[in-house]
Amino acid sequence: MNTSVLLLYLVEWLGVIGATMLMGLAPAFQRARLGFRYPRREGTVSFLLFAIFFLIAFQYYRAAGSLPLLPEPVKEDTLPLLLSGLRSQAIVAAVGLGLVLLALAIRRQPLRSAGWNRETLGAALRLGIGTALVVLFLRGRAMNVMDGLTPGEGTAFLYWAVIALGEETLFRGYIQPRMAAWLGERWGWLAASAMFTLWFLPGRLGVYSGSVLLWGLLISAVQGLLLGWMMRKTGHAAAPFFYRLISGWIQTLI
């Protein structure tokens, strides 16, 4: 990874931290915090759900093929290959979302216990959209969006919406609050972030070289910590969802 790409990530992360610290002070986020009657049981279930999801992903990529390794930035001739990889990620993320919904149904738990609390939805949407706009401007991609999108870029947006919805609902909405109830806020946040970092591996092992894989794991780790911190500040999956959506999608813009 070259220095300019790393600097872009650093600027993005600092911008998101600033926006979250400012907009995360909304009084709505201090209300309706989630609690669980049996924290250890909830933590165990969330870990098992991650293990099942991880194994499904490995089996899927083993059958469908690994994710492509593409040069940065994306160009017109590499976009179709990128879309193929995003489609695979979206399929796996949709499976993860399905597992969460199935677990909620079997255990008769409300949707708010997976990070989608109606009471704080408005404040979370404002924070999520605000951080998304910050990322667009700090990355210098606002004009790309205003000038209009190609069909491929629009398709990439839809794929990223599914990826962000599935993965953020699983990791930030379902797993993190349960691990936090079991292990405490800090260790639960770190545990969920570690699982998210490991999630970088399926579909990439055997394709990415050693140094590229390590850089990818590092970026995934920092992003997981940041997304988890946003969840801690808001208690709602909408904020990390919007940030993840835009942060991933802008890298597909030509």
The pLDDT value recorded for residue 96 is 96
Split at pLDDT 50, 70, 90, the class of 74 is: confident
- What is the mean pLDDT of the segment spanning 33-58? 92
The pLDDT value recorded for residue 29 is 76
The pLDDT value recorded for residue 188 is 96
The pLDDT value recorded for residue 105 is 97
Which of 165, 173, 64 is closest to 114 using CA atoms?
A: 173
**Residues 7-34: tens digit of each pLDDT:** 889 999 999 999 999 887 777 776 656 7
**To 10 degrees, what angle do helices 176-183 and 210-234 make?**
80
The pLDDT value recorded for residue 4 is 78
Say how far apart CA 62 and CA 148 lie, in whole Å: 37
The pLDDT value recorded for residue 32 is 58
Task: Answer yes or no: is pLDDT of 228 > 70.
Answer: yes
Tokens representing residue 4 in the block: 């300019």
The pLDDT value recorded for residue 176 is 96
- What is the mean pLDDT of the segment spanning 214-240? 93
Tokens representing residue 53 in the block: 């999801």
The pLDDT value recorded for residue 55 is 95
CB 163 within 8 A of CB 93: yes
- What is the mean pLDDT of the segment spanning 155-180? 96
In the chain, % of residues over pLDDT 90: 62
Q: Which of 65-69, 136-140, 193-197, 242-246 has the weakest average pLDDT?
A: 65-69
Split at pLDDT 50, 70, 90, the class of 148 is: confident
- What is the mean pLDDT of the segment spanning 133-151? 87
The pLDDT value recorded for residue 34 is 73
The pLDDT value recorded for residue 239 is 93
The pLDDT value recorded for residue 72 is 67
- What is the mean pLDDT of the segment spanning 219-240? 94
Question: What Å distances lie between residue 140 and 10, 133, 253, CA to CA?
Answer: 14, 11, 11
Q: Which of 85-99, 144-158, 180-194 has the weakest average pLDDT?
A: 144-158
The pLDDT value recorded for residue 33 is 66
Say how far apart CA 124 and CA 120 lie, in whole Å: 6
Count other C-beta atoms under 10 Å from residue 192's C-beta.
Answer: 29
Average pLDDT, the chain: 90
Say how far apart CA 186 and CA 207 lie, in whole Å: 34
